[in-house]
A and B are shown apart, each in its own frame.
Chain A
């Protein structure tokens, strides 16, 4: 049990962030540890125990989410966000320039924004946050590494877009995208206009 003990806190938090409900997270976490224990013979000594545990736990979390969300949700028809294109937004630039202050303003908003990501995006983001490599995440999720990168890019773009939206509502950033925003008139022009 030493290995389990070593990772219990991070695995527990991962379950909490993936299934949201504390009661379900505890059940899922317990089921994953017991499943790993019962399948110990399948674990190859010397291989990555942490990734193996995440794989079992991710499966349990996905099944739990499936069971608790049986009603199909309507398809999200908002345009796909691109991480790179976010850079064109003046408001987003404001966030980047003073991200420490912005994050203090955000409070729990990060978790609300995180909820807008798809289950696979959330899992990839959390696993990456726990410093798993792309190949380890690919192994845990059973998907190719480029797909992991796509989930990460989309997840990060969604997370940032949601935070940007929040910042706009709170008046924390400029409201116009960079391409649409007019340069502020200089003092001379301003004076002429006023006259």
Chain B
């Protein structure tokens, strides 16, 4: 017995003709007479709706000329392609050796400094550490109050859609100077997103932890150092931050 979603998917695939002729025939045979009539009507209604949805003006010529003008001033970026020499293979092997040695060194030194550790065992425990309510507006106010010119994005609204379920839990001051912590729940695991002002103790700590491979993600956003720590690899969590224009 199909559930509601499966039935909807089946109708969609047939309405959009994303099925083989054999599958379409099989589907038709499963439908009652009333449903067959409905499917025929749906195909026609869909055509009318699509026609209406696609109605609209063409791209204005003036706009296109302006874009073409801007394009003419910019050269498309090219990847430089050098000839492949015989010694390239040897060089690649040497590079691989260096990478392996580097990875081994990183693994040995991969330690999260205590100040960046996520010690809360559960998301509830982490949420209890928050100094704000768990909403974007409150956290943005918190950031403003702490002199961070950053805005938060809605993770769910950003393509490509993430397979991770991410929820904001709040924000808090860090014990480290110049740093604040944004608290997240990612797939039921506690995660922290650290932000530090440039030149602060927090920025140095993040840079050092990044070098030692102790952060899941790390980058500079609007001049601020940012890094993610936790026991779960969130899907590019730093995407939630946007620098505000000065």
Contact = CB atoms under 8 A, between A and B. Distances in A.
Kindly list the 7 A-B residue pairs having the minimum CB-CB distance in the complex, ordered from nearest: A142-B160, A40-B76, A12-B59, A153-B8, A96-B41, A13-B56, A99-B45
A179 to B, nearest CB: 14
B38 A96 contact: yes
Contacts of B13: 134, 149
B53 A97 contact: no
A154 B12 CA distance: 10
Contacts of B66: 30
Interface in B1-53: 4-5, 7-9, 11-13, 16, 18, 34-35, 38, 41-42, 44-46, 48-50, 52-53
Contact of A141 (B48, B76, B136, B159): B159
Interface of B: 4-5, 7-9, 11-13, 16, 18, 34-35, 38, 41-42, 44-46, 48-50, 52-54, 56-60, 63-64, 66-68, 70-71, 74, 76-79, 135-137, 151, 153-154, 157-161
22 contacts: A1-B71, A12-B63, A29-B67, A30-B70, A34-B70, A38-B76, A58-B159, A62-B158, A62-B159, A84-B4, A84-B7, A84-B8, A85-B4, A93-B38, A96-B38, A103-B48, A133-B18, A141-B160, A143-B161, A149-B9, A150-B8, A153-B5
B137 A72 contact: yes
Nearest to A5: B64
Interface stretch (A45-53, A119-127, A186-194): A119-127
Contacts of A110: 49, 52-53
B244 to A, nearest CB: 11
Interface in A95-124: 95-97, 99-100, 103, 106, 110-111, 114, 119-120
A120 B12 CA distance: 16
Would you call the interface of chain B mostly helix, strand, loop, or mixed? helix
Given A41-B77, A129-B54, A82 B70 contact: no
A79 B210 CA distance: 46
A152 interface: yes
B5 A150 contact: yes
A12 B159 CA distance: 19
Contacts of A120: 161
A147 to B, nearest CB: 7
A110 B12 CA distance: 20
A143 B52 contact: no
A149 B7 CA distance: 11
Contact of B161 (A33, A114, A147): A147
B48 A99 contact: yes
B4 to A, nearest CB: 5
B74 A39 contact: no
A41 B16 contact: no
Given A13-B58, A63-B158, 13 more contacts: A8-B64, A13-B54, A33-B71, A37-B71, A40-B78, A41-B79, A72-B137, A84-B4, A93-B38, A96-B41, A103-B49, A149-B8, A156-B46
Nearest to A163: B49
A7 to B, nearest CB: 10
A160 to B, nearest CB: 8
A192 B157 CA distance: 61
Of B5, B16, B60, the most chain A CB neighbours within 10 A belong to: B5
Nearest to B40: A96
A1 B161 CA distance: 30
Nearest to A144: B163
A20 B56 CA distance: 12
A41 B41 CA distance: 46
A33 B67 contact: yes
Contacts of B70: 30, 34
B11 A1 contact: no
B79 to A, nearest CB: 5
Contacts of B38: 87, 93, 96
A128 interface: yes
Contact of A38 (B18, B46, B77): B77
A166 interface: no
Nearest to A26: B63
